[in-house]
Amino acid sequence: MKNPTLNPEHFLNRLPLKYNCNATAVPIPLVLRELFELLPLQGHQQSFNDYCNAALTDAYSWAGGSPANAVYYGACLELLIEVGWLLHRHAPKQKDRKRPALHRLPVPLTAQEYRRPQLFLQQFFAYAALRKWKLLVAAFTLNAVGNSSVADEVAAPELLVFYTYIQKLIYAVHRVALLKGLKPA
């Protein structure tokens, strides 16, 4: 018997659990606002760096308080990836917007991705499926609170891609929130 094709929507579990709704009815504006209210953009960047450093260290090194904080941040990354997938999947056709103001740069996004964050979301999910990104977050989370390094189970090129792409995803989702007029912190 053949394996049925996995539907990416089957991997949307954090958003429906948190917002108590079907995956197709997730309140995206609320998710975007909440993702950046509790932890502003720079806070996400710092937390992500701390999370990756702890996951890459060969001994327990989480310095962000309780290990539950690392697990919580891993869950935040899953929410970010899931909302990114929904934004990518249900993106309206965008017209080219005016050039971004220079005071908004530098960010890890290119100027074109900054103007149209959907371009990066397309690249993000073209590189790996929703399931693969979530598996990488799980591996990083387990190693962030464990005594081993994620480098023992994930190849070096994948580690670099994970770090680079998630860093850009944080900015791209934040930019979508700004373009939707949600004014996240």
6 has a pLDDT exceeding 90: no
Q: What pLDDT, in 10s, does the model give residues 21-67?
A: 887 788 889 889 998 988 899 999 999 999 999 999 999 999 989 99
The C-alpha torsion from 39 through 140 and 171 to 38, rounded to 10°, is: -10
Average pLDDT over residues 63-74: 93
Question: Tokens 């308080």 belong to which residue?
Answer: 65
CA 107/CA 55 separation, integer angstroms: 24
Average pLDDT over residues 140-163: 96
Q: What pLDDT, in 10s, does the model give residues 152-162?
A: 999 999 999 99
CA 176/CA 88 separation, integer angstroms: 11
Query: To the nearest whole number, what is the mean pLDDT of the chain?
Result: 85
Q: Tell me the two tokens of residue 169.
A: 């995803």
Smallest CA-to-CA distance from 45 within 14, 20, 77, 72 is with: 77
Q: Under a CB-based contact definition with an 8 Å cutoff, are residues 173 and 87 in contact?
A: yes
pTM: 0.85
pLDDT score, position 1:
44
Cα 80 to Cα 21, 33, 36: the distances in Å are 17, 12, 10
Q: Under a CB-based contact definition with an 8 Å cutoff, are residues 161 and 140 in contact?
A: no
Banded pLDDT at 80 (limits 50, 70, 90): very high
